[in-house]
Amino acid sequence: MDSVESSDQRRATVSQREQWMVQDQVFQIYDIFANIPHKTRTLMLELQRDNHIEYLTRGLKQLSSSFVVLDANRPWLCYWILHSIALLGESIDYELENNVIDFLKHCQDPNGGYGGGPGQMPHLATTYAAVNSLITLGGRRALSSINRGKLYAFLRGMKDPSGAFRMHDAGEIDVRACYTAISVASILNILDDELIKGVGNYILSCQTYEGGIAGEPGSEAHGGYTFCGLAAMILINEANRLDLAGLLDWVVFRQGVECGFQGRTNKLVDGCYSFWQGGVFALLKGLHSVDGEHVALSDAEEGDSATDGTSEGEDGNSLETDETCHIKQGGDGEMAPLFHSVALQQYIILCSQEQEGGFRDKPGKARDYYHTCYCLSGLSVCQYSQSKDEHSPPLPRAVLGPYSNLLEPVHPLYNVVLKQYQEAHEFFSSQSTS
């Protein structure tokens, strides 16, 4: 038997070895958690709010010289940090807020759109980040700083004859470009038939045989592109054109034994997919039918667990849960959770959270603002996954750890805090684009 195992280990691929190493690291954390006193367990499940706020605020004020490699992503850094702070229910001081608004004004191109920094060419990705940053800040000064008329002209300029969008002038065409363009136009109330035309056909051509959505036709299904494609199709009212049953099937099986999500088939778990994959379930929750019929996966799937044992968290949360990946209509029309929401919270809090502040990809990796943003966004999606609507606060059993872990709800289509979206929606609905 030993010789067989040794032979298998010798034949293992690099990917298999990396997978085993990550599983060992994750399961060690879970084993420690399962074998410590209840009081200590409760402390491990606590969201380190103060440390996260300190880490985020410090980064917004000043970054080290190592961040020079992200010079073309500065609006993204603003968004990742500001959105994380908003999810934690906090805000920045008046002086810092004005500094951010002034900085983003300098990133706004005279002909529309936002670049990665002052003087840089406008780009759809940094336009999305800048707009979401300003919406997250809220208030008349931030929202009115967006030149919607010029931004619309920029979006039209990025429109390809195929119907899809380019990321920038002469740039690549992909699903990410389609989503960022449609998301920005929708949230700013400038979305029209000219921008929508042909987008659905392009995204449809990117759905793969697996059910997920690729970045471009012929590529591999990917969690980030699947979110972008589905969200864009919902925003243009063409989601029913997708193979939603196949998409759901693909996303369901991206949640692995570590309790977190992988971005592609046979890839490692990554905390950022807590939102990119978890957010897909929030979008699907709003779709009541697939091809006109309610969806229900096999009852045999119910009761499967993403954990190896049962441990009780604060408020009686069980880390082994029957919240299986399924759609099931209740008597009041409410959908049951579509994924292991408590198990995903377990991965985020125990494996991605840094006690000193910030979140990381996986054990062994360093914290960063990107993963902090999308781990917190995914955590919010988990916590509200059983809520009937945005006005219904989650029950204690839906929140792993103390109820003080509860974050602000996000609007899953745009990934901005819901109340900030509502303010922006009201503001831009009353504004002309001239």
Helix crossing, 148-157 with 124-137: angle to 10°?
160
Q: What H or E segment, with its residue span, contains residue 360?
A: strand 359-360
Cα–Cα distance for residue pair 250/254, rounded to 1 Å? 7
Question: Pseudo-torsion of CA 365, 370, 373, 379, nearest 10°?
Answer: -40
Active-site annotation holds for 328: no
Active-site annotation holds for 264: yes
Q: How far apart are the first and last CA of the chain?
A: 76
User: For 84, what's the count of Cα atoms within 13 Å in the CB-facing half-sphere?
Assistant: 33
Residue whose C-alpha is closest to residue 199's, from 185, 220, 218, 219: 185
Q: Residues of 360-370 as b/e, b for ≥16 C-beta within 10 angstroms?
A: bbbbeeebbbb
Active-site annotation holds for 61: no
Active-site annotation holds for 128: no
Length of the chain as a residue count? 434
Cα–Cα distance for residue pair 172/34, rounded to 1 Å? 48
How far is residue 266 CA from its own chain's centroid? Answer: 20
Residues 377, 378, 379, CA angle at the centre, nearest 5°? 90
- pLDDT value for 395: 92
Active-site annotation holds for 259: no
Question: Higher-confidence residue: 324 or 164?
Answer: 164
pLDDT band at 181 (very low <50, low <70, confident <90, very high): very high
Residue whose C-alpha is closest to residue 386's, from 401, 376, 397: 397
Poorest-confidence range of 81-85, 256-260, 281-285, 387-391? 387-391
Catalytic residue among 270, 326, 382, 411: 270
CB 168 within 8 A of CB 122: yes
Active-site annotation holds for 391: no
pLDDT band at 8 (very low <50, low <70, confident <90, very high): low
CB 274 within 8 A of CB 260: yes
Q: pLDDT tens digits for 384-422? A: 998 877 678 899 999 999 999 999 999 999 999 999 999
- pLDDT value for 291: 38
Catalytic residue among 267, 326, 360, 411: 267
CB 402 within 8 A of CB 383: no
Residue whose C-alpha is closest to residue 83's, from 137, 3, 122: 137
- Please write down the HEC assignment for all residues of 241-278: HCCHHHHHHHHHCCECCCCCEECCCCCCECCCHHHHCH
pLDDT band at 6 (very low <50, low <70, confident <90, very high): low
CB 127 within 8 A of CB 184: yes
Residue bearing tokens 């001081």: 93
Active-site annotation holds for 371: yes
Q: pLDDT tens digits for 314-352? A: 343 444 333 333 334 444 444 466 899 999 999 999 999
**pTM, 2 dp:** 0.89
User: Mean pLDDT throughout 74-82?
Assistant: 98
Q: What's the mean pLDDT when you consider all of the chain?
A: 89
Domains of the chain: 15-291+338-430 (1.50.10.20)
Catalytic residue among 152, 179, 273, 370: 273
Q: pLDDT tens digits for 202-216? A: 999 999 999 999 999
Q: pLDDT tens digits for 114-156? A: 999 999 999 999 999 999 999 999 999 999 999 999 999 999 9
Cα–Cα distance for residue pair 318/34, rounded to 1 Å? 12
